Structure formats: structure tokens, C-alpha cells
Amino acid sequence: MQIMTVVVLLLASSASQPEVLGVYPADELTDVQHGKDIQVVVDKSVTSDGGGSLKVTFTGSGNAEAMLFAQQMSGVDNAVLWYEVDIRCEEPAGMAYAAMWTILPDGNSYFSRGLDQPCTQEWRRSRIPFLLEKGQRPDRVVMGVRFNGPGTVWLDNARLVKNDRGDWTSRGMGVFATVFGVVTGIWGALAGILVSRGKGKTLVVGLGVALLISEVVMLGVGVGFLAAGRPVSGGLPWILIGAIGSISIGLLVLLVLKRYRDFEAQRLAAQDASDSL
């Protein structure tokens, strides 16, 4: 188990690390833009990092947005931008969530919203992605919060980071899956020959357990990618293949062990019958 943990950590850490484009501690008012019925103040008494937070209160009805942090951009494309921020709110929970606006040179603006990461009464880390295509280079990225109704939200410890697209995670997963498929095929053929003869138990079972461990490692790598902030598209295939492989190989190893036990029981029964003659 310790060896497997080390392997997972090494594989996950070898992926390209996110590049930090901007850090916004939220202990002062800069680049704040908001609409009617929204008030933004620095609150030193409520904070996730000890330095203060931005307290945003919306007293109107319907939806509203407050743009709180801004980052000038130059020459960034073919990447995944992540707006990360600590967020909490008063009741009702879920009445607001983090939001990001990506502004292109032609004036078009595109938004990303953390609809699946609504605020709660406890601090939580919200991470909002935006996928930049090749040649799509924004001039500016603005980050903040969107309200679904009246309420108060605190935001703290915000930053904008960049991950490269098309990194080695998907390619590595393909290589891993190909090698694993070939080795699994060899193991299956070997097991089919030896198990029926009751031979090679150590080899067959040992190889099966090794394949099972590799699938568990693959599952762990996928979880490690997501925990480390990698894009879902990079980690999810590892998780799916690792989970399916772990279950299927695990069942096959159990079946092989049962066949060996059955063969041994038949051998002992035949020996007893021979001795009784």
C-alpha cells in the first residue's frame, strides 16, 4: 500500500504544475465593479486566510453580479484558466456562486459560473474553469460572484491560474491502457493454459494481482489529478478505466483462485480414491 501511494504521488506530481497568473488576497478594494443594490466592503472580522475578506451584500431581487478582481492578459491561449476563491454566505445557502468573465480583444465576453459549487455557511474552495482555444487570447479576465437573490457573501484568498491543454495526462493514459491491454491478454492466455492443468499457480495469481494493483494505481492517479487541480477531462478517464479494470481484474483473480482450489480438491479426491483401492 505504501509503494502504491508513492507511485500515485509521483505520477500526479509529474504533470505540469499550474501557472499562477494573479493573486488577490481580498483585503482591499481594487477593480470592483457592481450593479445596483450591491455593496462591497472589506471585512477584517470574517476571513479564511487571516487578512480580511470582501463582504458583498445584494439587497435587490432577481439576479445580480459583482466583479471584484481583474487580471490583464497577454499571449495566453490554448489553455485552461481557473478562478479559485474561498467563498461563504449567510442563509439561504446556495444563493450565490463564484463567476468569471473572459474578455477577448473583439469585445466579446464569455462567462463561467460555479453552478455546481454554491456557497454555504462554511468556507469552501470554489474552482471555476474556462477553456481557451488555440488563437483565443483574452485581453482581460474579471472574477467575482453572481447572486441568485438577495443575501451576503464573503470572498477571500482568490487567484487566477493556468493549466496547459493537451498535457501528458491523456496521452499517458492511452499508453498505460494499451500496455495494460496487451499484458492482460497475455495473462488471460497463460491462465487459460495453466489453470486447466492446475499448474503455474504462483505465476498466474501473482501476475493477476500485479495487474489489479496497476489498475488501482491508475484509479489513484485520476483521483490525484483532480485533487491537485487538474482539469476533469484529464483525470476522469484514468478514474473510469481504473475503476472498471479494478473490478474486472479483481473478479478474474477470484475466479482463477477458485479454479485452482477446485482442481486441487479434484486431485485430492482422486488420490483418496486411488489409495482406497
Among 3.40.50.10490, 3.40.50.2300, 2.60.120.260, 3.30.470.20, name the CATH number for the domain at 18-164.
2.60.120.260
pLDDT at 85 over 70: yes
Cβ neighbours of residue 231 under 8 Å, at least 6 residues apart?
A: 80, 129, 163, 165
Distance CA 173, CA 245 (A): 13
The mean per-residue pLDDT over the stretch 90-100 comes to: 85
Q: Are 181 and 249 in contact (CB under 8 A)?
A: no
pLDDT tier at 267, thresholds 50, 70, 90: confident
For the chain, the structural domain boundaries read 18-164, 168-276
- Strand residues in the chain grouped as ranges (E): 19-24, 33-34, 38-43, 53-58, 64-72, 79-89, 96-103, 109-113, 124-131, 140-147, 151-164
Largest CA distance in the chain: 100
Distance CA 239, CA 20 (A): 27
Q: What is the mean pLDDT of the chain?
A: 81
* Angle formed by the axes of helices 168-195 and 201-227, nearest 10°: 160
pLDDT tier at 176, thresholds 50, 70, 90: low
pLDDT at residue 218, rounded to an integer: 79
Percent of the chain whose predicted confidence (pLDDT) is above 90:
29
